[in-house]
Structure 1
Amino acid sequence: MQEIQQNERKAWLSLMATSPDGALTKLFAKETEAPKFDWLRRPEIGSVMVRGRTGGTGAPFNLGEMTVTRCSLKLASGEVGHGYVQGRRKEDAESAALIDALMQTEAAAELRTKVLTPLSTEIAEAKAKRARKAAATKVDFFTMARGED
């Protein structure tokens, strides 16, 4: 088992948690064959409290609840994977847990190339498209000097 950095694992778990509906399962199923595993926690749907901060740095406050799906599994080789995804998506949570476990094995480089990188690209393109759409509606207000002063 290769040594992984905590920040690196956080990054791929975050990427998978925010993936579009079905994208993770589609990429994973297309590129890899699922290994044998035992469930530690079958996929289950619940909710979590989302917290926010005023201005990003102010005092925290409860923003509201969000639906999530989570699961945990253990590969036959011993690696444990956890999957949390936004929404009611049991298949995506299972794929996320499998990818998390497999990223702790020798298959990590292949998964990064065939699943995580395309997923990251897809999310970045969607974010850029939303930004372009929002920028098209931007209105710049300005005040002209009237010359009466």
Structure 2
Amino acid sequence: MEAARRRVHRILALANAQALRQACAAICDATPAAMLRGPETGMVMARGRIGGSGAAFNIGDVSLTRASVRLANGAIGHAAHLGRDAGRVRLAAIVDALWQDPERRREIEDRIVAPLERFVEARDAKLGGEVAATKVDFFTLVRGED
């Protein structure tokens, strides 16, 4: 269950704001949610590693917005995203809370999570193709005078 919820959080975080709004407009707009926290924006330190495995170093501060909501059935949803889009974070928190209801999970997966996952995969594939097209292969030519 925790791995599945982490997957949903990942998809909600990777989807852009417009795709998230389109995917959950009908469901989230019709779901009353009480704000427990925020949305509030603050700064966090982004860290990186050279080559993905080197020693960690600080890249710099980035803004992060987080929110927590409670639905009428008592489910609590949380979300946090880089940036300052409070509306996006609120929608993601509502989706998280709705997803936790076993009776609505299939609907949320089919109508919100699956379309967003397809969007993220398509965007990543397109970006991967664009990056691959700019790859430079360096090689050494053997000179014939040796």
Give the AA of the match of 1:21: A
Q: Distance in 1 between matches of 2:140 and 2:91?
A: 54
Q: Which residue of 2 aligns with 1:8?
A: 4
Task: Return the TM-score normalized by structure 2.
Answer: 0.89
Give the AA of the match of 2:115: P
Identical aligned residues as a percent: 40
Q: Distance in 2 between matches of 1:70 and 1:34?
A: 21
Which of 48, 51, 73 is matched with 1:52 structurally?
48
Residues 87 and 112 of structure 1: is their aligned pair in 2 closer, same or farther, counting only changes over 3 Å? same
Is 1:148 the counterpart of 2:145? The answer is yes
Q: Which residue of 2 aligns with 1:123?
A: 120
Q: Distance in 1 between matches of 2:54 and 2:126?
A: 30
Cα distance, 1:20 vs structure 2: 1.0
Aligned residues: 145
Give the AA of the match of 1:116: V
Task: Return the TM-score normalized by structure 1.
Answer: 0.87
1:49–1:63 CA contact under 8 A, matched in 2: yes
Q: How large is the RMSD of aligned CA atoms in angstroms?
A: 1.7
Cα distance, 1:41 vs structure 2: 0.9
Cα distance, 1:50 vs structure 2: 1.2
Q: Which moved more, 1:138-147 or 1:63-72?
A: 138-147
Q: Which residue of 2 aligns with 1:134?
A: 131
Q: Which residue of 1 aligns with 2:31?
A: 35
Which of 41, 66, 73 is matched with 2:69 structurally?
73
For structure 2, the residue ranges without an aligned partner over 5 or more in a row are none
Counting helix residues as a fraction of each chain, which structure ranks higher?
2
Q: Deviations over 1:7-45 (max 9, x none)?
A: 111111122122213221221014555322221113122
2:28–2:95 CA contact under 8 A, matched in 1: no
1:74–1:80 CA contact under 8 A, matched in 2: yes
Residues 22 and 69 of structure 1: is their aligned pair in 2 closer, same or farther, counting only changes over 3 Å? farther
Secondary structure, aligned partner of 1:22: helix
Which of 60, 64, 81 is matched with 1:64 structurally?
60
Cα distance, 1:94 vs structure 2: 0.7
